[in-house]
Amino acid sequence: MLKLPIYLDNNATTAVDPAVLEAMLPYFNVHFGNAASRSHSFGWYAEEAVEYAREQVAKLIGAETKEIIFTSGATESDNLAIKGVFETYSGKGNHIITCITEHKAVLDTCHYLEKLGAEVTYLPVQSNGLINIDELESAIKTNTILISVMYANNETGVLQPIKQISAIAKRHNVLFFTDATQAVGKVPVDVQDDGIDILALSAHKMYGPKAVGALYVRRKNPRVKLSAQIHGGGHEKGMRSGTLNIPGIVALGKACEICRLQMQFDFLRVKTLRDKLEYALLGLEETFLNGDPEQRLPHVSNISFKYVEGDGLLMALSKTIAVSSGSACTSASIEPSYVLKAMGVDDDLAHSTIRFGLGKFTTEEEIDYAIEQVTGTVNKLRALNPLWITHKESIA
């Protein structure tokens, strides 16, 4: 039986997998020790759980266990990566290359570093959301120390050419960092095959709890060093001090294990549902898909409904379908999506955009319902729009 409202905003956050919840619960009131307590069994048990989780995270992304640093989430990981490189490698240079469609956690960090003397190049994107590889290589200077390009965009799902980017970075002896928050657990990510030096991920995008994440930091070829941004106690190899969130870390590890084992199945099932949704909605007149139709995540669909105000559509659907107009981190803004504007989408069309984020708990019945509700609501709202009426008369 269909339960309303249905949830199609999995890019913003995901429900915690029941198996993940079961794994983390004992660490609140049974195995509640501090992993830094080395003099009794409560601390030993907590430390053992942390190291096992570190191994689970590492296996998912093809890393070594010692290369995983636990954080409070992707935003902290982004800050530690970018600020850490800027401070540690200041003797080599101060130039950072990133992309204009990055998550705000990356963009705002770069803006902050510019105030401290960093030189930042913000690469544009093409109409499909992909960067131009030649422009990236041309932007590299003798003082370039970091390239930061996200693995998959949080609004459009577009997958950047990570292997090509890393090859360019390696050729010029520049470190490569990627915010892979949206990609890890959804598509195969391997830091060795992909040539990634630093990578950020978050539990709550992959069916784990909020406020826990990790940062992969390469230990050889090259060995990456990062200056700490949080001090006090020297936890996490001195890169991130603070009492470890044992329940959250255990949950992140379990979420990574489940993703590693189920990813292939989930990919195919969710992509099939996403394609069904798109086929129906793109059949409506004056409806457009944003982002490269091939190089993207399997569960994301960013669609513009011309002659429909996006906020009005969201409001009309809010009691039955949970969707968004873009990034959850900028959802309070009345400005059109900066990601879509960077792709050349005009303001009116950007304002008419809905992001559908499916997940592994999404059912075909829910997709059928979403198709029916969105189609009916779009037609109803257009019927009330004088511009739509004029448009129809002009082509009659």
Residues taking part in catalysis: 329
> Which residue type sits at 22?
E
Q: Name the helix (H) or strand (E) containing 394.
A: helix 386-395
DSSP at 210: S
Q: DSSP secondary structure string, 287-348?
A: EEE-S-SSSB-TTEEEEEETTS-HHHHHHHHTTTEE-BSS-GGGTT--SPPHHHHHTT--HH
The tokens describing 113, both together, are 């570093």
How many CA atoms lie less than 13 Å away from 87 in the CB half-sphere?
14
How many CA atoms lie less than 13 Å away from 94 in the CB half-sphere?
7
Chain centroid, CA 334 distance in Å: 22
CA-wise closest residue to 217 among 193, 202, 201? 201
Count Cβ neighbours within 10 Å for each residue of 297-321 and write b for 16 or more, e otherwise.
bbbbbbbbbbbbebeebbebbeeeb
Burial class (CB in 10 A: 0-12, 13-18, 19+), 371: middle
Helix 246-281 vs helix 364-383: crossing angle, to nearest 10 = 60
CA-wise closest residue to 244 among 74, 48, 63? 48
Helix 386-395 vs helix 364-383: crossing angle, to nearest 10 = 90
